Amino acid sequence: MPQKSSPSSRRTKHTDKDSVPKTKLPKLPTEFIVRPHENDKDLTNVANIYVSPQLLEITGWNVGNFIKISKGLDDIKCVLSSWSPADEDKYDVNVVLISEYYLKLAGILLGDRVTITKSAVQPEYATQIEIEYLSSLDEQQAKKMIQDIGLIYQGLATSDIRVRTVNQDIQIKLAELSLDESSKFGSQAFLYHPRSTIVMSTKKGSILEIPPKFSFSAVGGLDKEISLLKKNIYLPLNFPDVFNDFGIQPPRGILLYGPSGTGKSLLLKTVAYGSPKCHIIRINGPSIVSKYLGGTEERLRDYFKEAIKYAPSMILIDEIDSLIPTRNSDDTTEVDSRVIATMVTLLDSLDSPVIIIGATNRLSSIDVSLRRPGRFDQELEIPIPDADDRFDILRKQFNKMSNRSTLTEDEVKVIASKTHGYVGADLLSLTREAIMRCISRRLADITNTDSNVREELDNVKVVYDDLLEAMKEVRPSAMREIVLEMPKVKWSDIGGQKVLKRKLREMVQLPLTASETFERLGISAPKGLLLYGPPGCSKTMTAKALASESGLNFLAIKGPEIFNKYVGESEKKIREIFRKARLSAPSIIFIDEIDALSTSRDSADSTNVSQQVLNTLLNEIDGVEELKGVILIGATNRPDCIDPALLRSGRLDRHVYVSPPDSEARLQIFRKNTIRFELESKEELLSKLVALTKGFSGSECVLLCQEAGLNAIMENKECQNVSESNFMAAMKDISKNITPEMLDYYRAFSDKYRTSVV
């Protein structure tokens, strides 16, 4: 009898018979890298998307399926195809190839990350098409090209033809569309059918290029920076062998730095769209940080490998300071140190035409090991725009409005001159706010029963007054951290002091209005001004009025607030204030109670901290870095406590004594503060008060009016006016603080510095 095989032996034989080696398929990628399809001359391939044959096995899709490619909120449809198995080693499974014409149509860059899904619905057939073609073609040739492409969009352009209108018989009205419908229509694809699609009369001429989403010509106020950026990108990417001939390596990295809103991120996007033949890898600093150990470094290495593989390439890193923070900080972690070390190693190992461009608004937060030649070679500052740059930004913005604006060039220049400290983002916000006010103004005139709201809004135009009103709402972000929102104080709010007002206007406004004359004669504008005088004589209010009337950026600082218990923080705050003022020039730095910051170094009250703060202040005023376009105004009632070094020529060299108000000034103060008092025999009473308040300060005169009103209310809660008896009662409760000895004190200081008294 034959021996029966055991179950184990049967299993073994079965396994040996059926076992066939299979290639393990890779995991389906979540995102795909876009690369160009190399056979663009064959129009039958224009609408195709080429994927790996392995992807067809993973997904079960078939060649000829309609595929939707999505990038953010935008999407476009293509026809699925696959590349030859011979190209498997050339491209990875997470790469898709798209024709150059479709890339332009969708605004997709080489290296962009997209998602692809199968479209469940076939696109509709186009009923009518209008196309534009070159004069060397005839209508039959143009139709043949459209038929070869098959899947068409409005705006699709090749080297020979451009689709002008698809389904012209469909009337689309913006007022009747919802947001979803409008978006759907804008991304709708149509199929061409030689029998059912009518080609409208064609228009012969030159093909109009589809403008990119971002272009250098549309960026205002950064011509110099754009020129430097192009120079540092073009040669290293296109002619790296030229550098090798000289035995040096081409530049590898560029750092764009500057305040928020000046256009750093915009330049990164513009560089990407301005380099159509370059592989672009865009990284947002925090986006590649991984929760797993070594994950961040691995992602960084993968990006560099991809850049080298598809060179010439650019790696654009926004918010780069979050990726490579300085290792000198107490907040630096072990992960940060490893990422920095990885970045240094990758930069040093580059030998391909690859450029890394980083953007940050905190340049000092980037590790110093990366800020040297051979790594980030160039540091390009994107500054706060000056008046000419602001005009360029506004002009280009209003040019986009076509005929929807009535502003003249001179009016735009006036707005540009008034927007000190506004960055590009602020100017864009200002324009948007002006448009909103313009629309709101027109809607207020339209009744709810008006059926022609859309037609009415089509006639709305932005005017000069809309921008002036918008300026009240949109404030300069460059000054937002330290600017003090001052009340609107006018010169008329300050009684008397005609000589003081004239001197201040001459010292502050004259160098601005006659800057060319100053430069031609080689005269330097005054850098500093010291207001001194008894308490309550309008020193602070004078500075407010000066800033308000001159229209300059105003940084108000209270002396004692500068001091910090941590070593070096007080000096750091001084440097930061002056840095902001320089960026936002022309500007005024007003330091109230300046004697607290500049105590004489020979005084017994002087400490090491106060001396360091004073030294920093002196260096900022006339140190190595020139203080251009910034005026320092200090106010004090103790001028002799200020260190003499600060009062010398070239620093606070203009000394203005703010004296107690004279009789005329007191009369103006009383008139202004008693407007609603309904006084009987007003002029006679005011003249009497002026005589009784000789030697009073301005604040004491204001206090007298307030106390008189309070007495009137205490007598009668329903009182309609204030009587003379109320003033006399208030006079008994007010003591005069300005003494003859105090006036002698200020007179002695004036005599001591007579050569610099204005």
CB 58 within 8 A of CB 116: no
- φ, ψ of residue 194 in degrees (nearest 5): -60, -25
Residue type, 424: G
Burial status of residue 131 (CB atoms within 10 A of its CB: 0-12, 13-18, 19 or more): buried
Among residues 110, 112, 113, which one has the least CA distance to residue 35? 110
pLDDT at 170: 45
Walking along the chain (758 residues) 10 residues at a time, the average pLDDT comes out as 42 45 75 85 86 90 92 87 82 90 88 91 86 76 86 85 71 38 53 82 62 83 90 85 83 90 91 88 83 87 92 92 82 84 90 91 88 88 87 89 82 86 89 87 62 65 86 75 58 75 75 76 80 83 76 74 77 83 78 82 73 83 74 86 82 82 84 82 85 85 87 84 84 83 85 54
Cβ–Cβ < 8 Å for 471, 430: yes
Q: Which distant-in-sequence residues (6+ apart) come within 8 Å of 387 by Cβ? A: 416, 417
Q: Kindly state the DSSP code that residue 433 receives in the 8-state scheme.
A: H
Would you state the structure tokens that stand for residue 384, as one six-digit string?
A: 């706060």
The radius of gyration computed from the CA coordinates of the chain, to the nearest angstrom, equals 36
Terminal C-alpha separation, the chain: 131
pLDDT at res. 172 = 40
User: According to the model, what pLDDT value does residue 405 have?
Assistant: 81
Residue 693 to residue 109: CA distance in whole angstroms: 77
Give φ, ψ of 726 to 5 degrees. Answer: -65, -40
The tokens of 293 are what?
A: 């150990």
Length of the chain: 758
CB atoms within 10 A of CB 298: 14
Q: How far apart are CA 133 and CA 135, in angstroms?
A: 7
Gap between the Cα atoms of 117 and 311, Å rounded = 28
113, 247, 600, 612, 682 from 604: Cα distances, Å: 67, 63, 9, 16, 52
For residue 744, the model assigns a pLDDT of: 86
Measure the CA–CA gap between 318 and 684, rounded to whole angstroms: 70
Residue with tokens 């407007």: 675
| CB environment 268-284: b (16+ within 10 A), e (fewer) | bbbbbbbbeebbbbbbe
Please tell me the predicted confidence (pLDDT) of residue 567.
77
Could you count the other beta carbons within 10 Å of the beta carbon of residue 238?
A: 14
With residue 240 as reference, give the H or E element that holds it.
Answer: helix 240-245
Those residues with Cβ within 8 angstroms of residue 540's Cβ, 6 or more apart along the chain or in another chain: 590, 592, 635
* Other Cβ atoms closer than 10 A to 248: 9
Contact 355, 314 (CB under 8 A): yes
Contact call for residues 709 and 673 (beta carbons, < 8 A): no
